[in-house]
Amino acid sequence: MRKLMIASVLALAACGVDGEPVQPTGGVNVSLSPSGVGLGANVGLKKGPLRIGLGL
């Protein structure tokens, strides 16, 4: 449910409904350590100098 809500907000903002389009950003992190493999992800929005993000 949470992923669907985030994807909906990103899609709505990126299409330019509220004005100029907002550039979505994202990334995936993979780390290796002696105790195992770690995975992480981040998503966000960028409009001019303003950036908003969420890390998982």
> Is residue 25 within 8 Å of residue 8, measured between CB atoms?
no
DSSP secondary structure code for residue 47 in this structure: E
**13-41 pLDDT per residue, tens:** 666 555 666 788 899 999 998 889 999 99
**Confidence (pTM):** 0.48
β partners of residue 1? none
Q: What is the pLDDT of residue 31?
A: 92
Report whether 10 contacts 26 (CB < 8 A): no
Whole-number pLDDT of residue 38 = 92
Task: Please report the pLDDT score of residue 7 as a whole number.
Answer: 76
User: What tokens does 56 get?
Assistant: 């998982």
Element housing 31 (H / E): strand 23-33
Is the pLDDT reported for residue 44 higher than 70?
A: yes
- Give the separation between CA 51 and CA 43, rounded to whole angstroms: 11
